[in-house]
Amino acid sequence: MSVEPNHYLEITRSHVHQIYRELETSGKVITVDLVRKPYYDVDEDNKTLLQVFREHNEQSRKLIGKDFISKTVQRYETTTRYLEEFIKKEYQLSDIALNNLEANFISKFDAFLKIEKGCAQNSAITRLKNLKKIIRIALENDWIKKDPFAYYRFKLKETYPEFLTMDEIKIILAKEFTIKRVEQVRDVFIFCSYTGLAFSDVKDLSPEHLLKDNKGELWIKIFLSFHSSVFSSKNLHRLNTSLAKSMIQIKF
């Protein structure tokens, strides 16, 4: 074992002994929880995980349409809620100091996502990558000394999406529905099929996203962030997608 881990263990042992002595002096019945809570509790001078996460989310929400899309911000907000639940369940705390994060925090949160939240492997990795970004921000600002992700490796599960044929799309398009809501869902699905937009991207569309070029062709201009096993991008892209003519009527 190297000198640095030994030094860290010695500091931790000293801290725990100090807490134990203070509890012993107070005359309280000493339990594991009574010793653990002061150790993990938040110092006012230290940045905390959920605090930094929420600051990031608030700033990101202000940049929707510029640097972020709403789906990305919603994903970070969901990860924040999951972390809050995890910290309460695992540590009986409302938040945790960044400097108290250890490597096993990551593996425990990974297990929590899969067991308690029913996340599949790739979905859990998405949440962990959200967390890793916050840790990177903390490292850049010197709010945390050691990276809990230092030895953690993401293992994405390969996925193979199935594609509809043009004949299958035409069958769906020709299908008549008696329920207006179901018909609208079908129309949005067909629209997504012809434009390549995700449901979440279509939800964010507004009239200002529809533009005509100098030939009179109607186009969509929207900021997208996409990830897949084939294509991936860390940056936002502007996508111009020509609308499928005469296939669907768009009403705003």
pLDDT of 131 over the 60 cut: yes
Q: Determine the Cα–Cα distance for residues 36 and 104; give it in Å rounded to an integer.
A: 16
Neighbours of 148 (CB within 10 A): 19
Total structural domains in the chain?
2
pLDDT in tens, 173-212: 889 999 999 998 998 888 888 877 778 778 777 777 777 7
Q: 128 and 215 share a domain?
A: no
Nearest residue to 200 via CA among 81, 57, 58, 75: 75
Q: Which of 78-92, 181-195, 210-224 has the lowest mean pLDDT?
A: 210-224
Contact 61, 88 (CB under 8 A): no
Q: Is residue 26 part of a domain?
A: no
d(CA 21, CA 16): 9
**Domain containing residue 204:** 166-242
Residue 80 above 70 pLDDT? Answer: yes
Whole-angstrom Cα distance, residue 22 to residue 18? 6
| Residue predicted with more confidence, 111 or 42 | 111
Task: Say if 36 falls within a structural domain.
Answer: no
Is the per-residue pLDDT at 170 higher than 50?
yes
- Whether 160 maps to a domain, the answer reads no
Within this chain, do residues 135 and 170 fall inside the same structural domain, yes or no?
no
Q: Measure the CA–CA gap between 36 and 19, rounded to whole angstroms.
A: 9
Give domain status of residue 79, yes or no.
Answer: yes
Tell me: the pLDDT tens digits for 32-71?
766 666 666 545 557 899 999 999 999 999 998 788 888 8
What's the CATH number where 120 sits? 1.10.150
pTM above 0.85, yes or no: no
